[in-house]
Amino acid sequence: MRNKILITGGAGFIGSHVVRLFVNKYPEYEIVNLDKLTYAGNLENISDIDKAPNYSFVKGDISDEQFIDDLFAKNDFKGVIHLAAESHVDRSITDPMAFIKANVFGTVNLLNAAKKYWKDDFEGRRFYHISTDEVYGALGETGFFYEDTSYDPKSPYSASKASSDHFVRAYMNTYKLPIVISNCSNNYGPNQFPEKLLPLAINNIKNNKPIPIYGKGENIRDWLYVVDHARAIDLIYHKAEIGKTYNIGGHNEWTNIDLIRLLCKVMDKKLGRAEGESAKLISYVTDRAGHDLRYAIDASLIEKKLGWVPSLQFEEGLEKTIDWYLDNQKWMDRIVSGAYEDYYKNMYKDN
Ligand code: NAD
Ligand code: TYD
C-alpha cells in the first residue's frame, strides 16, 4: 500500500507547517491536504510546496458527510492527521455552534469514514487527532497539566475540542480504531492568523495602533514555536503507541503583559524606534468572558518516551517570528482588509 496520508486543516497556521514538514521530509509519502479554506485557511501559507509531486490539495468541509465518505472511498489513506478546526476562543464565544459543527461533527464524520473504510484492515494505520491543552481547563498559580489530568473545558472552543477528543477515544474503545491524540500549548510563529495575540500585536505595533490587552494582562500561557509542534507531530505520528496521548509544551510561561512588553522591546529595535516607544501602544481592554487564568503543560512524557524537546529558546523564536511578519507584509496586508476589518471593529468595539 502506498503511504497516503490525509492532513486536514493544512492551509491553516499549524497545519501548513505540518504539511511542509511531511512533504519535504517524506518524498515517498503522498500527502493529501484537505481544507475548507475558511477565513483562517490560506493557500499562500504553503505556496512553496504546492507543486511538489507528493502533494495534492482538496477543498472541502470535514463536516460534509457525503464528501468525506467519497474522499475515503476514492483514497486508501494509511493515516489521518487531523488539524482542521475552528480555533479562536473569542469567535467561539460569539458563535459556539460553528465550533460544534466543525470540531465535533467534523471530527466524528472523519472517524466514521475511517471506521467504515479501514474496518477490516487497521494494521499499520492511524488516526491522529491534534488537540489543545485548553481541554484541561484553567490552572491557578501553580501546577501543570498532565496526560491524565481530568478534562474541565471552560470556553465553547475548549468544550468542542474536549468533546472531539472524547469521541476519538470512544472510537478506539468501541471499534478498535487505531488512534493517537496530542494536546499542545499555545503556538506562535509564521503564518498565524492575526486574530491571535502575537500576530495581532506585531501588526498593530508596526502600524502604531493600540495593542489590546484583556483585563490586567495577568493571564498566563505556555508558548511553543510552531515548527517544534510540527516536529512533535511527526514523532508522535510515526512512533507513538496506539491509544496514547501526549502533552506538548514549551516550558515557557509568560503573563500576557510581560510577553507584550518583551515584544515591544524587540520591535523597538527592529523598527528603529526609541526604547519604550512601542510599549506606549499597550491598551487595557474589557476582559474576555470566562478568561482562563493559566495554562501550563508538563511535557516530560514526550521528552522521555520519544526524545522530543523544543529546539528554540523563546527569545530566538520570537525574533524569527517578528522577522517573518515584517518580511511578509504583503501576506499580512492581504488578510487585514475586508472581512478582517469588520471582525476587528466588532471585536474591539467597546474599547
Ligand atoms: P487555524 O484556525 O489557523 O487553521 C484551521 C484550519 O482548518 C484552516 O485552514 C481552516 O480553513 C480549516 N478548517 C476549519 N474548519 C474546517 C472544516 N469544517 N473543514 C475543513 N477545514 C476546515 O488553526 P491552528 O491554530 O492552525 O490550529 C490547528 C489545530 O491545532 C486545531 O485543531 C487546534 O485546535 C489545534 N491547536 C492549536 C493551538 C494553537 O496555539 N494555535 C494549540 C494547540 C492545538
Ligand atoms: P489567543 O492568542 O487568542 O490564544 P488562547 O486564547 O487560545 O490562549 O490569546 C492568548 C492570550 O492573550 C489569552 O490570554 C487572551 C489574550 N489576548 C489579549 O489580551 N488581547 C487580544 O487582543 C487577544 C487576541 C488575546
133 is catalytic: yes
Per-residue pLDDT of the chain (351 residues; tens, 9 = 90+): 469 999 999 999 999 999 999 999 999 999 999 999 999 999 999 999 999 999 999 999 999 999 999 999 999 999 999 999 999 999 999 999 999 999 999 999 999 999 999 987 999 999 999 999 999 999 999 999 999 999 999 999 999 999 999 999 999 999 999 999 999 999 999 999 999 999 999 999 999 999 999 999 999 999 999 999 999 999 999 999 999 999 999 999 999 999 999 999 999 999 999 999 999 999 999 999 999 999 999 999 999 999 999 999 999 999 999 999 999 999 999 999 888 988 999 999 887
pLDDT at 20: 98
pTM of the full structure: 0.98
Reduced to 3 DSSP states, what percent helix, strand and coil does the chain have, rounded to the nearest 5? 45, 15, 35
Task: Using most ligand atoms within 8 A of CB, pick from 7, 8, 13 the residue to mutate for ligand 1.
Answer: 13
β-strand pairing of 282-285 with 211-214: parallel
298 is catalytic: no
Q: Which residues line ligand 1 (CB under 6 A)?
A: 8-9, 11-15, 35-38, 40-41, 61-63, 83-87, 102, 106, 130, 132, 161, 184, 186-187, 193
In order, the DSSP letters of 248-280 are: E--S-EEEHHHHHHHHHHHHHHHHTPPTTTGGG
CA–CA distance, 64 with 56 (Å, rounded to integer): 20
List of residues 6+ apart from 285 with CB closer than 8 A: 212, 213, 214, 348, 350, 351
Annotated catalytic residue: which of 117, 136, 157, 325? Answer: 157
Helix (H) or strand (E) holding 33: strand 30-35
For 225, the 3-state DSSP assignment is strand
Cell numbers 514526550: residue: 302
134 is catalytic: yes
Q: What does R_g of the chain's alpha carbons equal in angstroms? A: 20
> What DSSP designation does 103 have?
I
Sequence letter at residue 83 = L
Cβ atoms of 15 and 83 closer than 8 Å: yes
Domains of the chain with bracketed CATH:
3-189+223-253+292-313+340-347 (3.40.50.720)
Task: Using most ligand atoms within 8 A of CB, pick from 94, 222, 256 the residue to mutate for ligand 2.
Answer: 256
CA–CA distance, 16 with 45 (Å, rounded to integer): 6
pLDDT at 338: 83
CA–CA distance, 82 with 66 (Å, rounded to integer): 18
pLDDT at 120: 78
Interior CA angle at 159 toward 155 and 160, to 5°? 120
Say how many Å lie between the CA of residue 89 and the centre of ligand 2.
8
